[in-house]
Amino acid sequence: MTKKESTKKAVVPVPPVYEAPVSLTNIHKRFSWRWVLIGLVVLLLVLASANKGLILAAVVDGQPVFSWQLNNTLRTRYGQQTLEGMIGEVLIEKEAKKSGVAISNEEILSKQKEILSSLGTEVSLTDFLQFQGLTEADFNQQLRVQLTVEKLLSKDLVVTDADIDNYIATSSSLLTATEPAALREEAKKAIIGNAVSEKLQEWFLELRQKSNVVKFL
């Protein structure tokens, strides 16, 4: 080996420098669960102030009645009855679609006016809804179901002039119209209503028995 060669510095490969991985301990130190809990508390307070009914149903002499208590009571006392009503509406709607029966908004408004006029000219829709504890949407839905059932059960019913004459002769005390044409129309509706009432229970029972309903309540 020459002197020149011996004086050369040996080149030693330098390994790449990697940053030490962040330990889980350091992560936990940076991420404090205390701030998460504070954030949740703030969120609950905001929701509660925006809609107190989400948490509290009432406060009686300083004692809270929570919404979950109200919901449990309603579910226990009226849950089955309400659920059966909702199931009934679904079955009626499905039967109406199958039979091609539909109710227009005009028919619902006409039924509204008919009901209000039977109560007197001084009764407004607002007064009626307040008395019944209903919203207009709920009332209209009830009318839609009622009209749907009437159409389904009366689509094959034929009301003759003789039927109308006989009803007027025997049940005039139940009619309110005074004009001849209005009187006959009212009598016709009464005949249809009686026929529907006679069929309703048996028809719905059969509809319910044919359906596949699984309840979890």
DSSP 158-212: ---HHHHHHHHHHHGGG----SHHHHHHHHHHHHHHHHHHHHHHHHHHHHHHHS-
- Both 181 and 148 in one domain: the answer is yes
User: In this structure, is residue 13 part of a structural domain?
Assistant: no
% the chain with pLDDT above 70 = 76
Q: Which domain holds residue 178?
A: 79-210
Among 41-45, 57-61, 202-206, whose mean pLDDT is lowest? Answer: 41-45
28 part of a folded domain:
yes
CB atoms within 10 A of CB 147: 19
Q: With respect to residue 159, please indicate whether it lies within any of the assigned structural domains.
A: yes
Q: Model confidence over 69-91: pLDDT tens digits?
A: 989 999 999 999 999 999 999 99
Q: 95 with 60, same domain?
A: no
Both 86 and 50 in one domain: the answer is: no
Domain count, the chain: 2
Are residues 86 and 60 part of one domain? no
Same domain, 121 and 162: yes
Q: Which residues contact 202 (CB under 8 A, 6 or more apart)?
A: none
pLDDT surpassing 70 at residue 160? yes
The pLDDT value recorded for residue 18 is 46
Same domain, 154 and 90: yes
pTM: 0.68
Does residue 89 sit in the same domain as residue 167? yes
156 found inside a domain: yes
